[in-house]
Amino acid sequence: MKTLSLKTCYALAWKSFSKWWIPLCLISAFILVFEVVPRIMLRPETAALEQKLLEGVSAFRSGTLEELEAVLFEARSIVWIYTIKLSKLLFALLPFIALLSMILLAWSNAAVKGRRNERSPGRMLTITGVHLLLTLVKGLAFAFFILPGFYLYIRLLFVTLIMLEENETGMMDAIRESWTLTRGNFRALLTLVCLNGTLQLVVSPTLIGLIPATGFANTARASAYQMLKR
């Protein structure tokens, strides 16, 4: 059983990350579209929310309790409409975002290995479907059981990477292989995931910062996979 060194993992990730700036720039255009489109489509609701926020502040300072309650009631209705519309947009974009995530992960893995694996479009769609299914399973695990959710997330961390690398490997075989690779390295991998998540969270307000941060997080994940696989 191999023990993962986070220092070595991030050193490899940093070295590999410089190899795929061009593909990262290409995929940035697609991410920009997915960022901009929801904002444009939700602009009326966003403007209405901002207006109600200003009215609420004004009512709180100088108005009566009845006026404040009326503003809050109207704001709640706008928030509900906004949430429904945003959920529909995210649901419609989810398959495309998942596919782009798999392309991004494949490029990250190729940068770490120094070579690319050939995959058919059908194979990529299959892996994208597995990614969506695992995202649903992990989401349910986190929703009902926080600690088991973390455990399941880490043990299944390499499933899509295994399927991207091994063209003949199915989902169940990839799950078993990921379970084996992560054995004995739960704490190190959890630290890796938390560091990557923190990096993405810190730069999330800026689209420019989020794109390279996500690329580097994927490269670090691929580096951990390649180190444990070797």
69-122, pLDDT tens digit by residue? Answer: 776 777 777 777 777 877 777 777 778 778 877 887 888 888 888 777 777 888
| Residue 86 belongs to some domain of the structure | yes
What pLDDT does 188 receive? Answer: 93
Which of 125, 160, 153 lies closest to 139, judged by CA? 153
Q: Report the 3 state secondary structure along the chain.
A: CCCCCHHHHHHHHHHHHHHHHHHHHHHHHHHHHHHHHHHHHCHHHHHHHHHHHHHHHHHHHHCCHHHHHHHHHHHHHHHHHHHHHHHHHHHHHHHHHHHHHHHHHHHHHHHHHCCCCCCCHHHHHHHHHHHHHHHHHHHHHHHHCHHHHHHHHHHCCCHHHHHHHCCCCCHHHHHHHHHHHCCCCHHHHHHHHHHHHHHHHHHCCCHHHHHHHHHHHHHHHHHHHHHHHC
Contact 223, 13 (CB under 8 A): yes
| Residue 1 belongs to some domain of the structure | no
| Residue 149 belongs to some domain of the structure | yes
pTM for this prediction: 0.72
What pLDDT does 142 receive? Answer: 79
Residue-averaged pLDDT of the chain: 80
Tokens 């969270």 correspond to: 201
pLDDT at 224 over 80: yes
The residue ranking higher by pLDDT, 103 or 181, is: 181
pLDDT at 68 over 70: no
* 111, amino acid identity: A
% residues pLDDT > 90 (the chain): 23
| Residue 201 belongs to some domain of the structure | yes
From 41-45, 143-147, 172-176, 201-205, the region with the lowest mean pLDDT:
41-45
| Residue 62 belongs to some domain of the structure | yes
| Residue 142 belongs to some domain of the structure | yes
What pLDDT does 117 receive? Answer: 74
From 53-67, 119-133, 208-222, the region with the lowest mean pLDDT:
53-67
pLDDT at 220 over 80: yes
Contact 215, 104 (CB under 8 A): yes
What pLDDT does 175 receive? Answer: 93
Which of 97, 92, 133, 130 lies closest to 214, judged by CA? 97
Q: How many domains does the chain have?
A: 1
Give me the domain span that covers residue 40: 6-229
What pLDDT does 174 receive? Answer: 93
% residues pLDDT > 70 (the chain): 80
